[in-house]
Amino acid sequence: MESVFGLVGRDFAIVAADTSAVHSILVHKTNEDKIMVLDSHKLLGASGETGDRAQFTEYIQKNVALYQFRNGIPLTTAAAANFTRGELATALRKNPYMVNIILAGYDKVTGPSLYYIDYIASLHKLDKAAFGYGSYFALSMMDRHYCSDMTVEEAIELVDKCIMEIRSRLVIAPPNFLIKIVDKDGAREYAWRESIKDAPVPTA
Amino acid sequence: MSIFEYNGSALVAMVGKNCFAIASDWRLGVQLQTIATDFQKIYRIHDKLFLGLAGLATDAQTLYQRLVFRHKLYQLREERDMKPETFASLVSAVLYEKRFGPYFTQPVIAGLSDGDKPFICTMDSIGAKELAKDFVVAGTASESLYGACESMFKPDMEPEELFETISQALLSSVDRDCLSGWGGHVYLVTPTEVTERILKGRMD
């Protein structure tokens, strides 16, 4: 089962996700990127049904870009989160997307923020959030060690503690994790935490 | 587990002497796991009308957005705020529209009507109104709340005494319900002012 979690620090937000793409008992790949860079200052970490995840997050990314093209200014994190919730809520009673989302962003005015959106479109702004079986461990570790105003080093230390806990206590633990960060300088990949390395695939 | 018990909630509204109080808990959960301890369930429609939404969080958010939209249009057309009785009929109609695919929420409406007379009502998920002269309850802790309110309620309480009564009824009821709690949120409304208070109860 996929793990995604995130937290808000002093002037940044971090999203971490496992990177295994699993189909029943088979592991297709161990370096699947589940944290989409929505725009320059937003991250969308998603877990759930693989097809829904890929399609829905790309749909949100393109609509966020469209807004910026049409209006000349980017969406705020709150607006992007509410848009995402609206799309999930509209689809809920027709053709639901089985995707759980952690949306993190940095706005110049309001600073870093993190939004929890579950697959039935419940939206809540939080300082720390997690999805999947890994959430049982990640949330407990964060409840114990999190404080507001953490530096990047402290936050990464906490993320690593969560990853170690998931790796040691979850029976089918994902081997690799990806950590992305968003701050005033933008959204970018921060680090990989690998214990199994896939052979690199030649690009087309 | 029933869909109404997926997120967990406790709501109560009580009538006093020319005033009313509406109170809720703070928990947002996903079945047995607590996600947030600051999830607001009572919304201000206007200074003399408050709406509490118990039940499934996603439907509470969707329903709230739809009702605010309808009320804002009403304000533009009528150039005045909606009366609580009218709003209750609106909520009932909006819920019954979805009779064969309902919103899984139980609303609690509390307001000051003509002549600042307090008005409270609740309804089920398909809009069956229940008007009461004394108190109304909703949510996973509703059975405990019925008992607590029935024993603690007195008619024509002054605002301060009403606040004490509703707070004690709420806190004692959520302590017997594992799906609601993490403190209380009480709005006390008189013709001249609105007081918002946060209660600290058992944080579990």
Q: Dump pLDDT digits (tens) for A143-193.
A: 999 999 999 999 999 999 999 999 999 999 999 999 999 999 999 999 999
pLDDT confidence bin for A77, thresholds 50/70/90: very high
Which domain, by its residues, includes B179? 3-199
CA distances from B133 to A140, B86, B91, B119, B155 (A): 44, 17, 19, 8, 9
| Total tally of structural domains belonging to chain A | 1
With respect to residue B170, please indicate whether it lies within any of the assigned structural domains.
yes
pLDDT digits (tens, 9 = 90+) for A117-145: 999 999 999 999 999 999 999 999 999 99
With respect to residue B108, please indicate whether it lies within any of the assigned structural domains.
yes
Percent of chain A with pLDDT over 90: 94
pLDDT confidence bin for A197, thresholds 50/70/90: confident
pLDDT at A3: 95
Check whether A203 has a pLDDT greater than 80: no
pLDDT digits (tens, 9 = 90+) for A33-51: 999 999 999 999 999 999 9
The model's pTM is: 0.94
Alpha-carbon distance of A101 to A87, in angstroms, equals 12
The arithmetic mean of pLDDT across residues A192-202, rounded, is 80
Using beta carbons and an 8 Å cutoff, which residues of B are at the interface with A?
7, 28, 30, 33, 35-36, 39, 56-58, 61-62, 101
pLDDT confidence bin for A90, thresholds 50/70/90: very high
Q: Do A122 and B57 touch (CB under 8 A)?
A: yes
pLDDT at A202: 76
With respect to residue B204, please indicate whether it lies within any of the assigned structural domains.
no
3-state SS class at B18? coil
With respect to residue A199, please indicate whether it lies within any of the assigned structural domains.
no
Q: Do B61 and A136 touch (CB under 8 A)?
A: no
Cβ neighbours of A126 in B, within 8 Å? 35-36
A99 touches chain B (CB under 8 A): no
With respect to residue A204, please indicate whether it lies within any of the assigned structural domains.
no
Cβ neighbours of B61 in A, within 8 Å? 85, 89, 121-123
Phi, psi of B149 (to 5 degrees): -65, -45
**B33, B35, B58 member nearest A120 (Cβ):** B58
Residues in chain A: 204
Measured between CA atoms, the residue of chain A closest to residue B56 is A122
Using H for helix, E for strand and C for coil, what is the string for A157-174?
HHHHHHHHHHHHHCCCCC
Residue written as token pair 């690199």: A200
pLDDT at A201: 72
Alpha helices, H only, B79-158:
84-97, 142-152
A140 touches chain B (CB under 8 A): no
| Total tally of structural domains belonging to chain B | 1
Q: A with B: how many residue pairs have Cβ under 8 Å apart?
A: 34
Q: What share of chain B is helix, strand, coil (3-state, %, to 5)?
A: 35, 30, 35
pLDDT at B91: 98
Burial of A110 (0-12, 13-18, 19+ CB in 10 A): exposed
Cβ neighbours of A133 in B, within 8 Å? none
With respect to residue A89, please indicate whether it lies within any of the assigned structural domains.
yes
CATH code: domain of residue B159: 3.60.20.10
CATH code: domain of residue A24: 3.60.20.10
Region of B182 please: left (phi>0), alpha (psi -120 to 50) or beta. left
Q: For residue B27, how many other CB atoms are within 10 A of its CB?
A: 26
Alpha-carbon distance of A38 to A180, in angstroms, equals 12
* Complex-level ipTM: 0.93
Q: Do A85 and B61 touch (CB under 8 A)?
A: yes
pLDDT digits (tens, 9 = 90+) for B149-203: 999 999 999 999 999 999 999 999 999 999 999 999 999 999 999 999 999 999 9
